[in-house]
A and B are shown apart, each in its own frame.
Chain A
């Protein structure tokens, strides 16, 4: 009885730990395969890069403008109106658009759009036994499929972060216009408070998000099983795990960045 209960409680925990371990192993193998010659993944890298770009530019644009217009834009403007200090909105956008919302929305959209597509693609190949066929032919799936996706997603997520920050600021400008304010003070407080540390922190965070998404989605795709339902289930699990991993990493990174860089916190 006790044993039964213990097993029921610990089995999911154990399989979770095993899965995390497997993903770490895949990360290690991907990095070694990426560094060790030969480098056959150039063409695949470019096509994956363009694939992610084509898929994500429009959802990301809508998402980031909507989120920045509403959350830091309208709500913070509401708060600042009470003090007649709407010109300070730019300062809040350093915290909101650059440090948090830019990288997070980019990661969420990339995981939901490009990551799911990668899992669906690899999962389909897995259940049609194409991956096994590749291995029989002596082609390493990690080197030829995972590495280009890993590198492409890291690069594209890092670059999309800047895109998301730009459109996030556009959302802020919209909010400022809706409140009937001139835009000069917004830019003024924005550039007075923004620092290089904020920007590189944001881009670095986002690049690591890209790596997390790529590993989770490739892993889930390559271990899909169970026929028709299997691919769908793999996509489902991939996006859930990716979101949780993004959230957990974001929390750790934000804490570390803020605690180790007190100069970010000086209001100018």
Chain B
């Protein structure tokens, strides 16, 4: 029993540490200290675009396909195949695609940051930075956070477009219970700009949490090459839980008592 409870207890202790770390990094960005390293920020943004964007879009696209498939069959079963767009719109925009974004961000970007910073930490490169008089936390963590904030909204919007396309392909081209025009009419009817904004906020909060958790575990890695691997694995656990909790809170806050649908008064 003690063994089973070891994990939650360890988490509680880590939460405080991580909170303080996150506060420092966000303060660095907010206070503008990160602008001393704007070149490095742009470089990180470039790395993010080149190396991570395609994989993130791939998972968003695949889950868009699944949303479309389930929606088409479910609404067919209800005897309203023309309304597959309702399911697809809500599944894509409000719930599943933000999660897909969070999952892939955690997998690709989060663990990537841990592996990179962890390797720097154990080969004493971070200490070397400090010796050279560079604030390592600003240089390594705050630049990555700012880069994520610059790039990711656009990545997310484009990925959402890909997911919409995927749902369209699944519902109209593949399953084919509804015509193209009929599907699109309902699909666009059941979403509006506030929905999109809420979805974007949800995804960006997830992305911020993921980058910060990745920085924390990488920056504080220890114990040689094995330690880097373990830290990478640990960061993934926390990231997954955070993604789900943020997703739940976002839904509760934005759509909890507000269906935001064009039905009734």
Contact = CB atoms under 8 A, between A and B. Distances in A.
Interface of A: 54-55, 57-59, 62-63, 66-67, 69-71, 74-75, 78-79, 81-83, 95, 99-100, 105, 108-109, 112-113, 116-117, 119-121, 123-124, 127-128, 227-236, 239-240, 243-244, 247-248, 250-251, 254-255, 258, 265-267
7 contacts: A62-B245, A75-B90, A82-B261, A100-B70, A120-B226, A243-B104, A247-B62
- Nearest 4 interchain pairs by C-beta: A232-B115, A120-B229, A231-B229, A116-B233
Contacts of B261: 78-79, 82
A255 B62 CA distance: 12
B122 interface: yes
B225 A66 contact: no
Interface of B: 3-4, 7-8, 55, 58-59, 62-63, 65-66, 69-70, 73-74, 76-79, 86, 90, 94-96, 99-100, 103-104, 106-108, 111-112, 114-116, 118-119, 122-123, 174, 224-226, 228-233, 236-237, 239-241, 244-245, 247-248, 250-252, 255-256, 258-259, 261, 263-264
Contact of A248 (B62, B69, B111, B263): B62
Given A71-B99, A109-B240, A113-B236, 11 more contacts: A66-B244, A67-B247, A70-B247, A78-B261, A82-B261, A82-B263, A100-B66, A229-B118, A232-B228, A258-B73, A265-B77
Contacts of A57: 4
A228 B228 contact: yes
B8 A58 contact: yes
Contacts of B250: 70
A112 B107 contact: yes
B69 A231 contact: no
A177 to B, nearest CB: 14
A13 to B, nearest CB: 13
Given A100-B66, A232-B115, A236-B108, A70 B95 contact: yes
Nearest to B86: A79
A93 to B, nearest CB: 12
Contacts of B251: 70-71, 74-75
Contacts of A69: 248
A70 B91 CA distance: 11
A22 B114 CA distance: 27
Contacts of A70: 95, 247-248, 250-252
A78 B7 CA distance: 35
Contact of B244 (A67, A116, A229): A67
Given A100-B66, A108-B240, A251-B62, A66 B111 contact: no
B107 A74 contact: no
A230 B96 contact: no
Contact of A82 (B103, B107, B264): B264
A78 B258 CA distance: 7
B229 A235 contact: yes
A228 B122 CA distance: 8
Contact of B111 (A232, A251, A255, A265): A232
Determine chain A's interface SS by DSSP, over half rule.
helix
Nearest to B96: A71
A265 B76 contact: yes
A112 B55 CA distance: 16
Contacts of B69: 251, 254-255, 258
A236 B111 contact: yes
A255 B67 CA distance: 11
Given A70-B251, A74-B256, A247 B245 contact: no
Contact of A63 (B119, B226, B240, B252): B240
Contacts of A124: 225-226, 229
A234 B251 CA distance: 34
B240 to A, nearest CB: 5
Nearest to A247: B62
A95 B74 contact: yes
A98 B73 CA distance: 15
Contacts of A83: 263
B86 to A, nearest CB: 7
Contacts of B263: 82-83
Contacts of B239: 112
Contacts of B114: 232, 236
A265 B231 CA distance: 44
A62 B229 contact: no
B229 A123 contact: yes
A229 B115 contact: yes
A174 to B, nearest CB: 10
Contact of B225 (A54, A119, A127): A127
